[in-house]
Structure formats: C-alpha cells, structure tokens
Structure 1
C-alpha cells in the first residue's frame, strides 16, 4: 500500500470496545490489537485518571505498539469562554492530556480541543475573525508547552452539527499555521460531510497534518462505503504523511447515545478492527500524483 511505503502506521481507537478506557481494559485489548496486526493504538482521555500513562507506556512498548492520544473537551470546558475560571479549567485539562501523551510516548494529542462537541453558535465574518484570533491567543501558550514535550496538539475540524467554528481544513489552518506545537487531525467522517474534494483537502493540510482518523462514511468499517480510499491514500503519499491512520468508530455501548449510533456500525468491535485493518492493508499500491509527474 502506498501509505505503508510512506511510513504510515495503522492503528485503532479503543472506543471501538470501551468507554472510558481503563488500565484493565487496555491490558486486555492491547495484546489482541497487536495479534491482529495493528502497528498502533489510539488512547482516548475522557477524564484525568481513567488510565495510567506510565502503565500504558510499559505495556505498549512491550508489544511494539505506537501510541497516540485523543481527547474531546468535557461539557464544563471551553477555551473560548468569557469566564476566566472556565478557561483555566480547560487549559488544565489540555495540559493533563499533554503530560499523558508525553509519558506514554505519543507525539500527538488529537481532537477538537477548544470547545465541547455540540457547541454551535452563529458567526458572521467579523465574529469569526475575532473568535479565531481569541482561539489562537489561548492556544499559543499550550502549543509552546506541547512543543517542549515533543507533542503536537492536532486540532480536529468537526462537521457542522458538532461545531460552528472549525468545519474545514482551511478554517483550521487559520488557527494552526505558523505556531509550533499545533497541527491538524483529520477524520474521514467529518471530511465527508464538509469537504467537497477529500483528497484536495488532505493536500491543503500539507505538512501541518499530524494525525488521521479513518472510518466509513457512516462511521463504520473503512472500505464498505462510498469514499474514494485510493485517492485519499494517494493524497497522503503526496504530502509525505508518515503519521498514523487510526480507525475510529463508536461501537462501545456507552457511546451509542452521545455519538448518535442508532444502528450497528459493524457486526461487532472485533469485526470492525479485523475487517478495517484487512481493507487498509489490502489496498493496491496507488501511484501518487507526485510520483506520476517524476
């Protein structure tokens, strides 16, 4: 597969099985994830203390599984709030995620780390510019701390039903461009809703792309859907992306209501993992536009 030749690792988020993740569940899942043939595992943080980064680091190192960390803000968090106490609480949570990533050996913390998913409000052009500027100001010191730890905060654009601020790659680039410690996390589910040309959006992200989450357009198994996976893999190769492709779906029972999963996305979480990995591994080599020009 072109992506594998470019150095990409294929991983899976433990939300396929459990929420929240715990040390006990990771100890149960990680050996199975490795045995199936994954290179990496994405560890979600829902609340500080759910799992111990030092315990996870030892476990994953022993299995040769590369870690990534993802997180979403809790309802009481909001980096854009007028209330300084809320902003400090949010900064503390992001800093916890950065420490956890550093301790577990992950180089990325991915997610919409500025406001809780579902917070939407109408923005005219002037309000959008002002809000984006506020976000840049409040992310800058957190990004500096991330860079010092060798970690990238990978901001994830979400679809219009989950946020009204950062829906597209171009909007997210207005925040992360020029700031060390900030990058982008792209999720094929959200890209499919908001981008008219998914490979073009990937190429637009360019060297600011730090993490990629993949699933079918219905949030199910990659490959059993209408997305042009070969074109997306070719675009990733064109920008020399060497991070993870992490299967992210929400088949854990605890996530059904918060993630609006009203019907089965796969025959089960194990099937999601095995079938998704087989599809991604089995993609035929795709000549990138860059290679075809040479």
Structure 2
C-alpha cells in the first residue's frame, strides 16, 4: 500500500504554483503518493503535474466532487450532459497526470438530500447505473478507474454505505469503489467488515481521524481496518484527506483546529500509517 496525502490539507483550490511548492516537501517527508483535487477544470495543468511528480517518484490520484450546477440523477438533459462533461474532464486530467483513479461522489453535489422510499431509491440507482456505464467504460479506455465514494447521511441521502455503493459498482463494468474512514465511521457499524465487503471492488482509500484530523490517537479500529485491507489484497493508495485549508472551513464544517498545523498533520499521520503497514508486512 502506498501512503499519500491530499493537498487540501494546505490549500484550496490546488494550483500549479501550490503543487510545485508542496510536492517536494510531501516527498521529502516520505510519502509515496499525492492526491490532487479538482474543484473546477483547468485549476492545475495535468501535463506539468505529471512531469513534476514523475521526477519526485510520487504516485498521483485524483479526487473530485460535483459542483452545484451538476447532477447525474435528474431529468434535465442539459444538466446531465454538463455533468458528464465534467466527469470526462476529470478522467482526462487523471489520464494525463498518470493517475489510475478518479475518486468521489460523482453523481450529485455533496449536500443534496431528499427523501426516497424503497421504490424511488431503486429507480434512482438504476438511473445512476445507466448513466455511469458509458463514463466508466470511457475512463477504462484511458487507463483510469472511476471510484464511487459513499458519503455520510448529512451529505447525501442516496449512497451512504458500502452495501448501497455495491448496488451500483457491481452493475457497472470498470467502476470501482472508494472508501473514506470519516464517512465509514458515521455509517458503518463495523469498519473492517465494511472494507472486507468491498473486496476487490475497492480501488481507493482515504483516511483521517474520526474528527477528520490526524489518523491515530482516535477511537477508530486502525489495526482492524489495515488487517481487512491486507486480507482483501488491497494494493492501492491510502491517502490522508483532511481539510485544514482555510477556504474549506465553512463547506466542510471545520470549526476548530484539527492539528497544530497542516505540516504536523501530514508528518504525524504518515508516521502512524507507516507503522500500520509495517505491522502488516509479510
């Protein structure tokens, strides 16, 4: 497993200049990977990033969330086409930068919630399966896997659990699953069991403490989760995702410091996670 970190720990949005400043430090601390967020197309240059990261031997991943004007689920064809175009732009960026994964809740903006009875939920999932199939197929053709991320109940009413996500992932060839310990901690009763349930559909993992701060020193069952990842043969990235960038405080509801600073979060988190991977090494 490669250990990485999302640049949202320091800045939002990510820019070329910010990446040039951060990537060498991230590598010098001992990270193997870096997660590059896309908030809007064109914020950073994938070709330039590819050269920088290749020179540092940092493996990239891409994450993205839909913007307020996006929605893959509704009946407005113009909105659906706009959303598809955004997802395709994220896939192109991932392909150019050399990332194998685009992870995120790529069906509706975070915060969209509405009541769904069982029949309406099944119908919405069927619509999502239909609309993700061509996108996942096109992504696979570029060497990229779209990884669907379950979110907690306060951010979506559609896909909160691994079991719900598998209703989509298992029906869309080439689609993967991304798991985030913050959301798992809210929605799953047994986090290691949820990871085992994901099985070989799991292609990306994001981690943080239960308070969205530094991994470790919190109440999550970290040894159990890493045992589960080892048991399912997971060999992808395990990336710290926290939101200490000031611009993300309000949208991510971060009302108090999550660490002494983003550098501390990175270094302390890496030490803890590296210890877990060494514990599970053959």
TM-score (normalised: structure 2) = 0.98
Report the alpha carbon displacement of residue 284 of structure 1 after superposing the two structures with TM: 7.3
The aligned residue for residue 244 of structure 1 is 237
Consecutive aligned runs of 4 or more in structure 1 exceeding 4 Å deviation: 284-288
Q: Secondary structure at the match of 2:5?
A: strand
**In the alignment, is the contact (CA less than 8 A) between 1:15 and 1:249 conserved in 2?**
yes
Matches within 5 A, 1:59-98: 59-98=52-91
Q: C-alpha root-mean-square deviation of aligned residues, in Å?
A: 1.2
Structure 1 runs not aligned, ≥5 long: 1-7
Report the alpha carbon displacement of residue 287 of structure 1 after superposing the two structures with TM: 6.0
Instruction: Determine which structure has greater relative contact order: mean sequence separation of CA pairs < 8 Å that are 6+ residues apart, divided by chain length.
Output: 1
**In the alignment, is the contact (CA less than 8 A) between 1:233 and 1:286 conserved in 2?**
no
The aligned residue for residue 43 of structure 1 is 36
Deviations 1:75-108 (A, max 9, x none): 0000001100000000000000000000000000
**In the alignment, is the contact (CA less than 8 A) between 2:4 and 2:33 conserved in 1?**
yes
Q: Secondary structure at the match of 2:140?
A: helix
| Aligned: 1:272 with 2:265 | yes
Deviations 1:161-196 (A, max 9, x none): 000000000000000104222110000000000000
| Aligned: 1:32 with 2:20 | no
| Aligned: 1:110 with 2:118 | no
**In the alignment, is the contact (CA less than 8 A) between 1:234 and 1:286 conserved in 2?**
no
**In the alignment, is the contact (CA less than 8 A) between 2:14 and 2:37 conserved in 1?**
yes
The aligned residue for residue 226 of structure 1 is 219
Distance 1:183 1:88 in 2: 22
Report the alpha carbon displacement of residue 38 of structure 1 after superposing the two structures with TM: 0.1
Deviations 1:110-166 (A, max 9, x none): 000000000001111100100000000000000110110111100000000000000
Taking a change above 3 Å as real, the CA distance of residues 100 and 126 of structure 1, as seen in their structure-2 partners, is same
Q: Secondary structure at the match of 2:238?
A: strand
**In the alignment, is the contact (CA less than 8 A) between 1:183 and 1:209 conserved in 2?**
yes
Report the alpha carbon displacement of residue 246 of structure 1 after superposing the two structures with TM: 0.3
Say which of 226, 229, 235 aligns to 2:228: 235
Say which of 238, 254, 259 aligns to 1:261: 254
Q: Secondary structure at the match of 1:57?
A: helix
Structure 2 runs not aligned, ≥5 long: none
Distance 2:79 2:258 in 1: 36
**In the alignment, is the contact (CA less than 8 A) between 1:147 and 1:180 conserved in 2?**
no
Say which of 112, 119, 129 aligns to 1:136: 129
Q: Secondary structure at the match of 1:68?
A: strand
The aligned residue for residue 4 of structure 1 is none
Q: Secondary structure at the match of 1:38?
A: coil
